[in-house]
C-alpha cells in the first residue's frame, strides 16, 4: 500500500517526488525505476537512458528557460505561471557547488542577432540558457537522491508492468516481479525510453492519444571558432528556417559549444547526439539540424518512420555515419583517407566515414543543405567543405496523451508527466511537469484527505 506510486526516476519523476515530500513529508511514496541507482549507473548503451536521473543523467545539462522550447506546457498553462515555474525549477538545479553558467542574451545582442538572421533567411529565437554541464549535473542528481533518502521507498531494477484501474480510477501498479502496489495516485513518468510501454498502457486503459511529429536530421560539427561570436553571447542559438523547396520547418537544436558528439542507443538503433562539459573543452562546436516529419492519413506512425531511417544508416554504416559536407555536396562517399584530410577533427571516433545520401530521404537532405547555406551567412564557415555531418540524429517524441492542465489523465488519480506523456522534450519542462502533477495531488490530498 502507498499513497503515491511514481513510475520512472527521470527528472519528471524526481521533481514530483521532491515536491510531494517537501510539502507533505508524511505521504507514503513508492518510486519504481527499471534502471539502477545513480551510484551504480554507467553511460554505456541502454544504461545511458535508464536509472536515477533518467535520460537527464548524462545529458548536457542545458536548462533552457523558455516557454517556447523544450515542451508544450505552454498549451496548458498561462505563460506567466509557466515562466515562474521554470525559474523555480532552475533554482532547484542551481546548487552553489555546481551552478554552471547562465547565458542570457541582452536585448541589444538579441536584436542584432535577429536582424542578421532575418537577412540570412532565418528566424532567431532568443532564449535564456543555464548550462550546468554533464559533470555538474551528476553532482546535482546525487544531491537530489540523498535528499530523498528515508522519505521514499525506492524500487530500483524494477519495471512497472501494468497500471491497475477499477471503475475509472487508478488503484495501483503491478511490477515485473509480480508485486502489486496499491495506491490512491499514480504518476507515470517513463520518459522517451518508456514511450512504447506508455502507449501500450494508454491503449489498454482507453486513453486518448495523438501522434507527435518525429524530428529527423544530422549532427553538425565544426571548429568552435566559427560559431564563437554567437555562442559566446547566447550559448545555444536557436534558429528556424522554412525551406524554399519544401516549405518545411528546419531547426537548430542542442548546440554544444566546445563539446563532443556522442552515440545514443534507442532500443536496437544507434543514433547520434551531443553534449559538453563544464570543466573540459574540445576544439569543436556541434549542433543538430532537424526536420519535423509530420504525416497525414493513412500513415500514423512517425516513430516507426524515424526508426526506419536510422536503421538504414546503421545498416550501411554498421552504426553512425560521418561525412564531410564537401563530399556530400560533391556526390561521393567520405572514406577514412578523406576524413584524414579533413581539417575538422571528429570528436566521435566510432562513426563510420560514409555517404549520408544513401539513407537520408531527398526531402530531409535538401532541407538540411539549404539551411547550412543560410547559416553560413550568419556564421561564415558553417557551409565549409570541412564541416562534418553525423547521421542519423532522430528525436522521437512519445504520443501525446490527452491530459488536463494539471496533467491528470482520463483515469481518475492517474497523472502522466514528462517526455513519456509527449508533453515535454527537455529537462526543465519535464521537471516542471512533475511539480504540476505533485501540486494537484497535494491539493486533493490536503483538501479531501485522499490517501491509501
Ligand atoms: C544525450 C542527451 C542529451 C540531452 N541533453 C539535454 C539538455 O542539455 N537539455 C535538456 O533540456 N534536455 C536534454 N535532453 C533531454 C532530457 O534528458 C529529457 O527531456 C529528460 O530527461 C526527460 O525527463 P523524463 O523524466 O520525462 O524522462 P527520462 O529522463 O527519460 O526518465 C524516465 C525514466 O523512467 C524509467 N522507466 C521507463 N519506463 C519504466 C517502467 N515501465 N518501469 C519503471 N521505470 C521506467 C526509465 O528507466 C527512466 O529512468 C538530453 C537527452 C539525451 C538523451
Give the start-to-end residue ranges of the domains of the chain. 2-94+132-210+399-448, 214-395
Residue nearest (by alpha carbon) to ligand 1 atom 2: 59
Q: Which of 46, 55, 162, 256 to mutate to test the pocket of ligand 1 (most atoms within 8 A of CB)?
A: 55
* CA 192 to centroid of ligand 1, rounded, Å: 6
What's the predicted TM-score (pTM) here?
0.84
Average pLDDT, integer, range 339-344: 97
Residue 103 is predicted with a pLDDT of 65
To the nearest 10 degrees (0 to 180), the angle between helices 362-378 and 107-119 is 120
Which residues, in sequence order, are CB contacts of 80 under 8 Å at separation 6+? none
396 pLDDT higher than 80? yes
The answer to whether 432 and 73 are in contact (CB under 8 A) is: yes
The mean-pLDDT minimum among 33-42, 158-167, 194-203, 441-450 falls in: 441-450
Q: How confident is the model at residue 144 (pLDDT cuts 50, 70, 90)?
A: very high
Q: Which of 432, 367, 378 is nearest to 64 (CA)?
A: 432
- State the CATH architecture for 2-94+132-210+399-448: 3-Layer(bba) Sandwich (3.50)
pLDDT at 295: 86
Mean pLDDT score, 81-88: 96
Q: What does the pLDDT read at residue 95?
A: 75
Cα 281 to Cα 259: distance, rounded to the nearest angstrom: 6
pLDDT value at 180 more than 80: yes
- CB distance 413 to ligand 1 below 6 Å: no
pLDDT level of residue 100 (50, 70, 90 thresholds): low
Average pLDDT over residues 134-149: 90
Inform me whether the pLDDT recorded for 424 exceeds 60. yes
Q: How far apart are CA 216 and CA 392, in angstroms?
A: 7
pLDDT cut 90: percent of the chain above it: 76
Residue 203 pLDDT > 80, yes or no?
A: yes
Using pLDDT thresholds of 50, 70 and 90, give the confidence band for residue 108: confident
The kind and range of the H/E element at 291 are strand 284-293
Alpha-carbon separation of residue 5 from 29, 160, 184, 427 (angstroms): 6, 10, 8, 21
Ligand 1, atom 4, lies closest to the CA of 59
Confidence band, pLDDT 50/70/90 cuts, at residue 266: confident
Q: Which of 133-137, 145-149, 312-316 has the lowest mean pLDDT?
A: 133-137
pLDDT at position 99 over 70: no
Pair 123, 153: CB distance under 8 Å:
no
Q: Is the pLDDT of residue 408 over 90?
A: yes
Q: 64, 23, 198: which is closest to 74 by C-alpha?
A: 64
The answer to whether the beta carbons of residues 153 and 50 sit under 8 Å apart is: no
pLDDT (0 to 100) of residue 346: 97
Kindly list the distances between the CA atom of residue 278 and the CA atoms of 92, 227, 263, 281, in Å, as whole numbers in the listed order: 18, 18, 19, 8
| pLDDT mean over 437-449 | 87
* % the chain with pLDDT above 70: 97
Per-residue pLDDT at 447 exceeds 80: no
Q: Is the model's pLDDT at 452 over the cut of 70?
A: no
Q: Is residue 409 predicted with pLDDT exceeding 90?
A: yes
- Indicate if the pLDDT at residue 419 is higher than 70: yes
Is residue 186 within 8 A of residue 207, CB to CB? The reply is no
How far apart CA 145 and CA 140 sit, in angstroms, is 9
What confidence category does residue 451 fall into, taking pLDDT thresholds of 50, 70 and 90? low
379 lines ligand 1 (CB under 6 A): no
Q: Does the pLDDT of residue 67 top 80, yes or no?
A: yes
Pairing of strands 169-175, 400-401: unpaired
Sorting pLDDT into bands at 50, 70 and 90, what band is 102?
Answer: low
- Going by pLDDT thresholds of 50, 70 and 90, the confidence category of residue 445 is confident
Tell me the CA–centroid distance for residue 384 and ligand 1, in Å: 34
What is the whole-number distance in angstroms between the Cα of residue 56 and the centre of ligand 1?
5
- Pocket lining: 32 vs ligand 1, CB cutoff 6 Å: yes
Question: Quick check: CB of 197 below 6 Å from ligand 1?
Answer: yes
DSSP 412: B
How much is the pLDDT for 104? 63
Q: What is the mean pLDDT of residues 118-124?
A: 96
Q: If you average pLDDT over residues 180-208, what whole number do you get?
A: 95
Average pLDDT value for residue range 82-93: 94
Pocket test for ligand 1, best of 266, 427, 429, 434 (most atoms within 8 A of CB): 427
CA distance 421 to 291: 22
Taking the centre of ligand 1 as the mean of its atom positions, its distance from the CA of residue 289, in whole angstroms, is 21
For the chain, the average pLDDT equals: 92
**pLDDT exceeds cutoff 90 at 12:** yes
**Residue holding cell 508485486?**
179
How confident is the model at residue 212, as a pLDDT?
Answer: 87
What pLDDT is stored for residue 97 in this prediction?
Answer: 67
C-alpha cell at 421: 506523456
Nearest alpha carbon, ligand 1 atom 17 = 56
- Are 141 and 38 a contacting pair, CB within 8 Å? yes
Indicate whether 432 pLDDT > 80: yes
Mean pLDDT of 93-100: 72
Amino acid at each position: 500500500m502507498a499513497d503515491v506510486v511514481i513510475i520512472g526516476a527521470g527528472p519528471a519523476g524526481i521533481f514530483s517526488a521532491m515536491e510531494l515530500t517537501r510539502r507533505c513529508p508524511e505521504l507514503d511514496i513508492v518510486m519504481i525505476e527499471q534502471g539502477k541507482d545513480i551510484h551504480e549507473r554507467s553511460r554505456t548503451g541502454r544504461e545511458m537512458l535508464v536509472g536515477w536521473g533518467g535520460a537527464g543523467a548524462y545529458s548536457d545539462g542545458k536548462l533552457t528557460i523558455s516557454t517556447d522550447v523544450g515542451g508544450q506546457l505552454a498549451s496548458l498553462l498561462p505563460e506567466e505561471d509557466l515562466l515562474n515555474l521554470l525559474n523555480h525549477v532552475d533554482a532547484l538545479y542551481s546548487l552553489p557547488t555546481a551552478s554552471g553558467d547562465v547565458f542570457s542574451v541582452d536585448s541589444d545582442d538579441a536584436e542584432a542577432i535577429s536582424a542578421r538572421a532575418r537577412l540570412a533567411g532565418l528566424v532567431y529565437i532568443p532564449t535564456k540558457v543555464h548550462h550546468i554541464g554533464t559533470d555538474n549535473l551528476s553532482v546535482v542528481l546525487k544531491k537530489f537522491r540523498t535528499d530523498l533518502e528515508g522519505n521514499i521507498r525506492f524500487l530500483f531494477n524494477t519495471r512497472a508492468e501494468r497500471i491497475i484501474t477499477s471503475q475509472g480510477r487508478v488503484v495501483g501498479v503491478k511490477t515485473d516481479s509480480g508485486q502489486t502496489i496499491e495506491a490512491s495516485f499514480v504518476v507515470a513518468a517513463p520518459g522517451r525510453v518508456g514511450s512504447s510501454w506508455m502507449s501500450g498502457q494508454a491503449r489498454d486503459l482507453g486513453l486518448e492519444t495523438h501522434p507527435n511529429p518525429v524530428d529527423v536530421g544530422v549532427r553538425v560539427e565544426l571548429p568552435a571558432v566559427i560559431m564563437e561570436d554567437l555562442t559566446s553571447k547566447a550559448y545555444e542559438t536557436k534558429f528556424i528556417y522554412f525551406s524554399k523547396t519544401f516549405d518545411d520547418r528546419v531547426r537548430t537544436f542542442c548546440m554544444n559549444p566546445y563539446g563532443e558528439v556522442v552515440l545514443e542507443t534507442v532500443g536496437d538503433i544507434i543514433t547520434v547526439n551531443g553534449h559538453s562539459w563544464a570543466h573540459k573543452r574540445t576544439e569543436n562546436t556541434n549542433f543538430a539540424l532537424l526536420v519535423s516529419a509530420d504525416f497525414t492519413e493513412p500513415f500514423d506512425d512517425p516513430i516507426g518512420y524515424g526508426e526506419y531511417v536510422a536503421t538504414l544508416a546503421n545498416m550501411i554504416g554498421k552504426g553512425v555515419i560521418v561525412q564531410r559536407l564537401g563530399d556530400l555536396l560533391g556526390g561521393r562517399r567520405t572514406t577514412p583517407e578523406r576524413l584524414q584530410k579533413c581539417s575538422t577533427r571528429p570528436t566521435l571516433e566510432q562513426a563510420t566515414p560514409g555517404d549520408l545520401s544513401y539513407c537520408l530521404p531527398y526531402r530531409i537532405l535538401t532541407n538540411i543543405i539549404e539551411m547550412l547555406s543560410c547559416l553560413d551567412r550568419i556564421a561564415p564557415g558553417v557551409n565549409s567543405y570541412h564541416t562534418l555531418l553525423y547521421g542519423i540524429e532522430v528525436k522521437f517524441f512519445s504520443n501525446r496523451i490527452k491530459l488536463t492542465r494539471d496533467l491528470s489523465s482520463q483515469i481518475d488519480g492517474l497523472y502522466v508527466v514528462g517526455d513519456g506523456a509527449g508533453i515535454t522534450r527537455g529537462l526543465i519542462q519535464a521537471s516542471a511537469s512533475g511539480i504540476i502533477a505533485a501540486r494537484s495531488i497535494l491539493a486533493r490530498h490536503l483538501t479531501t484527505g485522499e490517501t491509501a
